[in-house]
């Protein structure tokens, strides 16, 4: 029985993959977080992966604290770039398939139409810079890898915008949310399903792909959809990014074009409102 190694297994995407793993039960799934597989230990990383000897690696691990990354540059580079190079090199040498998860933050945010995979990159924060370096290292070390860029990830697991907004809308009378950053949310369960679809597809087509839910919204509009779904009685106002300064700059526009992943693998991309309702239903039951 072949093995699938999932890194960052306790994160949002890793947790959703765990739920879907029975769809691919011809493989033994190995779920690791930093306790079981320390990606920062670059010297021993190759040895550790070789011991597991997977046929497929799904790298969900990353330093995703975007604001913290501005002051944790070295850690961010090790997790988002250098460890990816090691995994890509090992997978290429050992005939192992690699799916690596990247981000819309590799773009500068100056576009005005949905970004295709060939759109020019130009990250504007440390997180984006290290993730782009990871993409490049991945493709250099293993040209047969698949990279999936995603955006605004949320889930019933972990900490995310949907859970934070739901909580704050119940605690407060009013909230202000940024209204000039445009993109699309991604329900991690949908991304996990897309990955399973790719793994079960008859052909492996290497390259970069985009995945987020359908819809073009600002964070403010996304917050309104969360409010509507939860029936929360809270005044939600839109504010410009300039009124909410953060250590890391965010792209103003990073809507991803999903045409390629749909056409290549037959991946189904649900509308963000449909997926949001599914996630919030799970949160109500929790």
C-alpha–C-alpha distance, residues 101 and 239, integer Å? 30
Phi, psi of 227 (to 5 degrees): -60, -45
Catalytic annotation on 187? Answer: no
Helix spans in 112-239 (H):
126-141, 161-171, 188-200, 219-230
C-alpha–C-alpha distance, residues 223 and 80, integer Å? 29
DSSP letter at 105 equals G
Tokens of 110: 């100056």
* From 105, 127, 209, 272, the catalytic residue: 127
In the numeric block, the tokens 């037959």 are attached to 266
Q: From residue 84, how far is each of 8, 59, 66, 147, 223 by CA, in Å?
A: 12, 8, 18, 11, 33
Residue 65, number of CB atoms within 10 A of its CB: 13
C-alpha–C-alpha distance, residues 106 and 258, integer Å? 16
Residue 267 · residue 261 · CB < 8 Å: yes
Burial of 223 (0-12, 13-18, 19+ CB in 10 A): buried
- Please list the active-site residues: 127
């Amino acid at each position: 029985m072949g093995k699938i190694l999932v890194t960052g297994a306790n994160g949002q995407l890793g947790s959703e993959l765990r739920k879907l793993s029975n769809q691919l039960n011809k493989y033994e799934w190995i779920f690791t977080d930093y306790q079981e597989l320390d990606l920062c230990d670059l010297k021993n990383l190759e040895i550790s992966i070789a011991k597991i000897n997977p046929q497929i690696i799904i790298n969900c691990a990353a330093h995703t604290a975007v604001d913290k990354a501005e002051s944790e540059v070295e850690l961010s580079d090790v997790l988002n770039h250098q460890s990816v190079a090691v995994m890509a090199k090992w997978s290429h040498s050992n005939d192992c398939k690699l799916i690596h998860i990247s981000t819309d933050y590799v773009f500068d945010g100056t576009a005005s139409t949905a970004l295709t995979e060939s759109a020019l990159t130009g990250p504007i924060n440390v997180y984006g810079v290290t993730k782009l370096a990871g993409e490049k290292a991945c493709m250099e070390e293993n040209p047969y890898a698949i990279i999936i860029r995603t955006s605004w990830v949320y889930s019933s697991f972990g900490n995310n915008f949907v859970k934070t907004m739901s909580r704050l809308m119940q605690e407060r009378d009013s909230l202000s949310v940024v209204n000039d950053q445009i993109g699309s949310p991604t329900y991690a369960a949908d991304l996990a399903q897309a990955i399973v679809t790719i793994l079960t597809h008859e052909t492996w087509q290497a390259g970069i792909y985009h995945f987020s839910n359908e819809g073009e919204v600002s964070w403010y509009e996304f917050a309104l959809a969360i409010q509507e779904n939860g029936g929360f009685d809270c005044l939600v106002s839109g504010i410009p990014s300039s009124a909410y300064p953060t250590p890391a700059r965010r792209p103003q526009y990073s809507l991803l074009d999903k045409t390629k992943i749909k056409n290549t693998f037959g991946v189904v991309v649900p509308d963000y409102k449909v997926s949001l309702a599914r996630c919030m239903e799970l949160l109500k039951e929790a």
